[in-house]
Amino acid sequence: MSRLVLVLGDQLALSLSSLKAADKARDRVLIVEVAEEATYVRHHKKKIAFLFSAMRHFAEELRGLGWTVDYVKLDDPANTGSFTGEVARAVAAHRPDSVLVTEAGEWRVAQMFAGWEAQFGLPVEVLPDTRFVCPLPVFREWAEGRKALRMEYFYREMRRRTGLLMEGDKPAGGEWNYDAENRKAAAPDLFMPRPPVFAPDAITKEVMALVAARFDNHFGDLEPFQFAVTRADAEAAFAAFVKRALPRFGDYQDAMLEGEPFLYHAVIAQYLNCGLLDPLEVCRAVEAEWQAGRVPLNAAEGFIRQIIGWREYVRGIYWLTAPGYERRNFFEHTRPLPAFYWTAETDMACVRAAVTQTRQHAYAHHIQRLMVTGTFALLAGIDPHELHEWYLSVYADAYEWVELPNTVGMSQFADGGMLASKPYAASGAYINRMSNHCGTCRYDVKQRTGANACPFNPLYWDFIARHRSKIGGNPRMAQMVRTYDKFADAEKARIATSAAAVLAKL
């Protein structure tokens, strides 16, 4: 009995359930670079290069451990360009008794798997993805019958389930969540930590040449290429974060600084999401740092919450709502995505910084995604589906299971409040408080209307006015609706005129 074990590009872990269930003496691993995956949205060049290089290194790692690995490169003349085509080719060539695979991270790919038994006339065994802390049936059970699916309550379950930062059945330090301590604005600092740089080796250079030739018309800079592409280097990147940035991770989680794309963030989501790092292992390492007294509790808790809380929660929401969530549009927004999301050509300093670093590094940190590009799109009434495709293509860590709930649910409130308790609408004052962008901006963050007013300001109040019937009943928005209602008619008219002028220029 021999099996064909398909390992996808975001399954590069030795602990993968399909590899655990397989027998290296008899079974054959298949890893494929396929045009369909690189182009179903036009991924950032650096993201494709990162993933192809990590896949090639993983194939080498498996071979070194004694596995038989068929690796199909993108430019192999026989490459059919799709998962289905490549599995069909391998089935015809090797006549396995069955196909074995770990469940896909995207509904689209899960649908492909579902058609294969009939198509190939072979059993196709799909195993759960045990790299996640919360099995999907457990999430479904948690969600069943609840009116609101709030992350905070799910997170507490995950703390109990993993025992992370627990003292018996109580949270360490007495509180579950120290977010209130995590809202400091950062100041420019000569000693700002930077993620380590990994020079491209021969494999990465070959992949970069391939990506430059095949995906030249995709968004993003290919060079400089600085990501880790092996497990050992991803672990080194995480270790550097723990040593240099973790102690202040909590404090500056929401901060933004001109010229500082990474601040005190971990810059590891691209490694976690493709399997080079294990989520539970990184959380245990962070807990150990706190236990050893090297990092404060607010930093350790903040980090662990992002991973066993948010990351697991959005995955649960994705599978609970798929398919269809990607078309939710609570506010009925239809405006096309402005060109500056690709070109960075805008006078808004905060947006320019976020898009520029996205183009350079295939990275922006959470507050830039949520409160700059996300909030602007929400206020301007951008079509959430177009925005979703933008986020999915431009970040090295983007896969639909994690990107979609963050974009459609958290940032655009397009699900009407299933995920977030209120829309992340904010005026320029928020960005001014958390960053130093406004000081260098051509717009005036203090002005509500007029040609020099920060565009976030009239758009914010116009958003409140346009959607008052949809948001007025939300207790967390009612105060803003009341404030708007108290504006004089002349001010309301100025807001409408200024907002229209901003929108006309998009």
Residue type (1 letter), 273: N
Q: Which of residues 186-225 bind ligand SF4 (CB under 6 A)?
A: none
Residue 370 near which of ligand DLZ, ligand SF4, ligand FAD, none (CB within 5-8 Å, type-dependent): ligand FAD
Closest distance of CB 108 from ligand DLZ, Å: 7
104 is a site residue for ligand DLZ (CB under 6 A): yes
CB count within 10 Å of CB 5 equals 28
3-state secondary structure of 62: helix
Determine the Cα angle at 312 with ends 196 and 303, to 5°. 45
For residue 379, which of 318, 302, 458 has the smallest C-alpha distance? 458
Residue type (1 letter), 498: S
Q: Which stretch binds ligand FAD (CB under 6 A): 49-57, 91-99, 205-213, 397-405?
A: 397-405
47 is a site residue for ligand FAD (CB under 6 A): no
Pairing of strands 98-102, 3-6: parallel
Q: How far, in Å, CA of 228 to CA of 270, rounded?
A: 10
402 is a site residue for ligand FAD (CB under 6 A): yes
Q: How far, in Å, CA of 89 to CA of 356, rounded?
A: 41
8 is a site residue for ligand DLZ (CB under 6 A): yes
Q: How far, in Å, CA of 115 to CA of 265, rounded?
A: 41
419 is a site residue for ligand FAD (CB under 6 A): no
- Which residue has the closest beta carbon to ligand DLZ? 9
For residue 307, which of 184, 143, 134 has the smallest C-alpha distance? 134
Exposure of 38 in the CB half-sphere (CA atoms within 13 A) = 26
275 is a site residue for ligand DLZ (CB under 6 A): no
67: its two tokens = 């596995």
438 is a site residue for ligand SF4 (CB under 6 A): yes
3-state secondary structure of 449: coil
- 318 contacts 402 by C-beta, under 8 angstroms: yes
Q: Which of residues 347-366 bind ligand FAD (CB under 6 A)?
A: 365-366
Residue 38 near which of ligand SF4, ligand FAD, ligand DLZ, none (CB within 5-8 Å, type-dependent): ligand DLZ
Residue 261 near which of ligand FAD, ligand SF4, ligand DLZ, none (CB within 5-8 Å, type-dependent): none
Closest distance of CB 466 from ligand SF4, Å: 20
**Which one of residues 265, 328, 361, 467 is an interface residue with ligand FAD (CB under 6 A)?**
265
Closest distance of CB 310 from ligand FAD, Å: 4
**Which one of residues 30, 349, 380, 419 is an interface residue with ligand SF4 (CB under 6 A)?**
349
Residue 276 near which of ligand FAD, ligand SF4, ligand DLZ, none (CB within 5-8 Å, type-dependent): none
300 is a site residue for ligand FAD (CB under 6 A): no
446: its two tokens = 């203090």
Q: Please, which residues have CB within 8 angstroms of residue 222's CB and are 6 or more apart in sequence?
A: 45, 46, 49, 208, 211, 212
499 is a site residue for ligand SF4 (CB under 6 A): no
CB count within 10 Å of CB 148 equals 9
Q: Which stretch binds ligand DLZ (CB under 6 A): 31-39, 173-181, 300-308, 427-435?
A: 31-39
DSSP 86-135: HHHHHHHHH--SEEEEEPPSSHHHHHHHHHHHHHHTS-EEEE--TTSSS-
Closest distance of CB 407 from ligand FAD, Å: 4
Q: How far, in Å, CA of 307 to CA of 332, rounded?
A: 32
11 is a site residue for ligand SF4 (CB under 6 A): no
**Toward ligand DLZ, which CB reaches closer, 113 or 484?**
113
CA R_g for the chain: 24
426 is a site residue for ligand SF4 (CB under 6 A): no
3-state secondary structure of 215: coil
Residue 502 near which of ligand FAD, ligand DLZ, ligand SF4, none (CB within 5-8 Å, type-dependent): none
- The H-or-E segment that residue 167 falls in is strand 166-167
382 is a site residue for ligand FAD (CB under 6 A): no
**Which one of residues 406, 432, 435, 436 is an interface residue with ligand FAD (CB under 6 A)?**
406
Q: Please, which residues have CB within 8 angstroms of residue 73's CB and are 6 or more apart in sequence?
A: 33, 79, 210
**Toward ligand DLZ, which CB reaches closer, 106 or 289?**
106
- 327 contacts 412 by C-beta, under 8 angstroms: no
Residue 375 near which of ligand SF4, ligand DLZ, ligand FAD, none (CB within 5-8 Å, type-dependent): none
Residue 62 near which of ligand FAD, ligand DLZ, ligand SF4, none (CB within 5-8 Å, type-dependent): none
- The contact pattern for ligand SF4, residues 293-332, with x = CB under 6 A and - = no contact, is ----------------------------------------
Q: Which of residues 33-92 bind ligand DLZ (CB under 6 A)?
A: 33-34, 37-38, 43, 48, 51
Q: Please, which residues have CB within 8 angstroms of residue 314's CB and are 6 or more apart in sequence?
A: 401, 402, 405, 406, 409, 410, 419
- 375 contacts 256 by C-beta, under 8 angstroms: no
Chain residues binding ligand DLZ by CB under 6 A are 8-10, 32-34, 37-38, 43, 48, 51, 104-106, 109, 399
Chain residues binding ligand FAD by CB under 6 A are 265-269, 272-273, 303, 306-307, 310-311, 314, 365-366, 369-370, 374, 391, 395, 397-398, 402-403, 406-407, 410-411
Chain residues binding ligand SF4 by CB under 6 A are 348-350, 428, 431-432, 437-438, 441, 443, 445, 454-456
